[in-house]
Structure 1
Amino acid sequence: MPHFSVVPGAAVSAILGEAHKDVLRIVAETYVAHEKGQSVNPDSYFLRFPEKPNARVIALPSYLGGDVDTIGIKWIASFPDNVRQGLPRASATLLLNDYATGYPLACLEAASISAARTAASAAVAAAQLLPPDGPVRVSFIGAGVIARTILDYLDAHGVRIADVLVHDLDATSAGHLTAHATERLGVPATGGSLPEALTRDLVVFATTAATPYVSGDTPLRPGQVVLNVSLRDLEPELLLKTNNVVDDVDHCLKAQTSPHLAEQLTGSRSFIDGTLGALLQGRVTLDPAKPTVFSPFGLGILDLAVGHHVLAEARRRGTAVDIPDFIGETTRW
C-alpha cells in the first residue's frame, strides 16, 4: 500500500529553484510522449462564478505512461483581482495517484509547478522557433509571475537575450520585471509601449486579457516569434497570416482562445501547422516568409510530469511530509 505525502510550497520552490534544466528536459520529453500517444489528457473543466466573471478554477486530469506511469489532477484557481491586493493571481494543488491501484500518493502545492511547466513550455518552443545564431530582442506584454518565470527559463535554456522591453498596464509590475531582468539576469531592460513591444524578435504575451485587443492588421515580420501564452490577446485575423504551432490542437481550439476564434472565423483548422511535440520530432514544416505564433493551452500531463519529479526529489531530501494514516482502510475485509 503506497503511503501518502504532502509537499508544501517551500519545499516545491526549493526544488524547482535548482531544477530548471531538469524541468526543460521533462517538458520536452512529455510533449514527445504525448505526440506518441503515451498519455491520457482529457478536456480541462472550468468552474466559473456568476458574481466573479473574471475568476475561474480549472481541473486538469491526466495520465502519463513511461517512467512516470502516474495519474494526476491539477486544481488551479485564477483570481485576477488578487493582484490589487498584492497577492498572486493563481494558486494550485496537484494530486497524484498510483496507476497500479488508483490510490492517492501525494498532494503538492502546485502554483510554482504550474508556472515552471508553463515557462519551460514557452522556452522549449522559443528555442525551436528562433534562429540559432545571435542574441534576440525580447518583449513581455504582461509582467506577472508567469512572465518572470518565462524569462528565467529562456535564460536557463540558453536563449541569448540582447535586451528586454516590458509593457504592462500596471507600472509597478512592469518595474518589477525590468528590475528582475537587469539585477538577476544581467540583461538590459526597459518599459515601453504596446506598439514597441510588438516589434521585437520574440514577443511574449502573459496577460489576463479575456478578449483580443491586438489588431489583425498588426505588421508582424517574417521570422518573428510570438509566444501566445495568455491565448486571448490576438485577433483571429492575425493568426491567419502566421505559422501556427499549438501544444494540442483539440485542447487549444476551445474556450474562445485566439486559435478557437480563428477556427470559428474560417470554419477550418487548416491554419494550424502542427504541434510542439511534432516540431520537436522534426515533423513540422514552417513557412520562413511568415512570423510564427506558438499557442499553448496548457496540458495537465506537464504538471503531472514535473510534479512526479518534485515528489521524488522531496522524498529524497526528506522535505515531503508523510501522512501515515491518510488512507483509512488498507484491507478489503
Structure 2
Amino acid sequence: MPDDKLGIPPFGVLPGAGVRRVLAGREKQVVELVEEAYQRHGEGATVNPPSYFLRFPDRPTGRIIALPASVGGRDAVDGLKWISSFPGNVEHGIPRASGVLILNDPRTGYPYACLEASLISAARTAASAVLAADRLTRGRGRPVRAGFFGTGLIARTIHAYFAATGWSFDQVGVHDLVRERAAGLAADLAASGQDAVVHERPEDLLRSCDLVVFATVAGTPHVTDPDLLAHHPLVLHVSLRDLAPEIIAGAANVVDDVDHCLRAGTSLDLAQQLTGGREFVDGTLYDVMTGAVTVRRDRPVIFSPFGLGVLDLAVGRFVHEAASRSGDLSVVPGFFS
C-alpha cells in the first residue's frame, strides 16, 4: 500500500516467481486472511459486484472473467482480478488459467501494483476450501478419506493447504478424465507419504470418500445420481457446475455469497430454476462462522464458493506488502504521466 502522503503512488509489478516466494510456507496466514475477508464481507464492509464473463462464439471453451471488488476498513484496498480460463492450453503444455491482479489506492484511485494472479487465485481458493471444511465439520469429526475430482493446480493447492494446516487423511482418492493426470497427482502424494489411489470410475471415488473436492472445468453437471452421496459426505464444490440441480436441491447448501452463486449457470442457479426459489440454500459461510446457521447432518453438506474478488484483494495486498519489504517488487519509474 502507498505511504500516508497523498500523491501519485509508485507502480510496482510482481511476477509469479515473487508471488510464489511470498506464499510459500504461509498457508495458515492466508487462511486467516481469507477468514477475515469473509468476516468483513458478511459485515457489509466490502463491495463485490457481479463478476463479468467475457465469452467467445468462436472459442466456446474459453473465458476471461473480471472480478472488481473493494475491501474497506483497515488495510483498505480496491482492485480488479482479470483471469482467463482456456482448458485447451493444457494440451499444449501451458497452464489453463492466467491472470493479473490490479491493486488500487482507495484514496486516489490510482493503480499501484500489478501482480501475477493465478497463484493468488489458487491460494485464496484453497484457503476458502480449507476454512469451509473446518467450519462445516466442527462437532461431527473431521473426514478421514478425501477424494479429488479433477487433479489440476487448484486440486493440488487445496491438498497442500490441508496438509499445511494440520489435516491428515487415511487415504486420498483421485479421479480425472485424463488418467495420466490423476496418476501424476497420486504419485506425488505417495512420494510425500500420503496413501493415494486412482479411481477409474467417478462413482467409486464419490462412494468411498467422506470429503469430496470438485476442481474441474466442467461447464454442465455430470454427477446426476443422488445415491452417490447417500453417505452424506462433505462436498467442496469449488468448480460450481459438477452436480445436478436435483442433488443440490436435496442437500444442505452453504455458499460464500448467495447472489453470486445463484447465477451464471452454476449448479445452484440450475437448482433455483428447478425449484423456483432459493429455499435449498441454508446460508453463507459467514452465517456458519457467526453461529447464525447450524449445518444439518441428515444429508450431504455442499459448500459452493463462487470465488469473491474481495478474497483476491485481501491476499494480493498481503503479497504486495511482503514483496515490497523483501525487494521482490519491481517499481516502474514514471509509469503515470
Name the TM-score, length of structure 1 as normaliser.
Answer: 0.95
Give 1:157's aligned amino acid: T
Shift of 1:134: 5.6
Residue 153 (structure 1) aligns with: 161
Residue 317 (structure 1) aligns with: 326
Is the counterpart of residue 15 in structure 1 residue 22 in structure 2?
yes
Distance 2:23 2:176 in 1: 26
Alignment CA distance shift 1:292-1:134 (3 Å): closer
Is the counterpart of residue 117 in structure 1 residue 109 in structure 2?
no
Give the conservation status (yes or no) of the 8 Å contact 1:32–1:278. no
Residue 78 (structure 1) aligns with: 85
Give 2:273's aligned amino acid: Q
Residue 300 (structure 2) aligns with: 291
Distance 1:242 1:313 in 2: 41
Over aligned residue pairs, what C-alpha RMSD do you find?
1.2
Instruction: Tell me the number of residue pairs that the alignment of Structure 1 and Structure 2 aligns.
Output: 327
Q: Which of 213, 221, 228 does residue 230 from structure 2 map onto?
A: 221
Residue 331 (structure 1) aligns with: none
Shift of 1:223: 4.4
Shift of 1:118: 0.6
Alignment CA distance shift 1:222-1:283 (3 Å): farther
Residue 313 (structure 2) aligns with: 304
Alignment CA distance shift 1:6-1:208 (3 Å): same
Residue 167 (structure 1) aligns with: 175
Residue 179 (structure 1) aligns with: 187
Give the conservation status (yes or no) of the 8 Å contact 2:143–2:211. no
Q: Which of 58, 62, 69 does residue 55 from structure 1 map onto?
A: 62
Residue 107 (structure 2) aligns with: 100
Q: Which of 263, 267, 274 does residue 265 from structure 1 map onto?
A: 274
Give 2:168's aligned amino acid: R
Give 1:105's aligned amino acid: Y
Give the conservation status (yes or no) of the 8 Å contact 1:6–1:107. yes
Residue 38 (structure 1) aligns with: 45
Shift of 1:219: 3.6
Residue 72 of structure 1 aligns to a residue whose secondary structure is strand
Shift of 1:135: 5.3
Name the TM-score, length of structure 2 as normaliser.
Answer: 0.94
Give 1:236's aligned amino acid: P
Distance 1:217 1:224 in 2: 12
Give the conservation status (yes or no) of the 8 Å contact 1:214–1:233. yes
Alignment CA distance shift 1:98-1:288 (3 Å): same
Distance 1:68 1:59 in 2: 22
Distance 1:306 1:211 in 2: 30
Distance 1:243 1:108 in 2: 37
Shift of 1:130: 2.3
Residue 3 (structure 2) aligns with: none
Residue 73 of structure 1 aligns to a residue whose secondary structure is strand
1:232-247 correspondence to structure 2 within 5 Å: 232-247=241-256
Is the counterpart of residue 248 in structure 1 residue 257 in structure 2?
yes
Q: Which of 202, 207, 210 does residue 194 from structure 1 map onto?
A: 202
CA offset digits 1:297-320 (Å, max 9, x no partner): 110000000000000000010000
Give the conservation status (yes or no) of the 8 Å contact 1:216–1:234. no
CA offset digits 1:234-286 (Å, max 9, x no partner): 00000111100001000000011000000000110010001112211222122
Give the conservation status (yes or no) of the 8 Å contact 2:143–2:210. no
Distance 1:74 1:90 in 2: 12
5+ long unaligned stretches in structure 2: 1-6
Distance 1:314 1:303 in 2: 16
Distance 1:223 1:154 in 2: 21
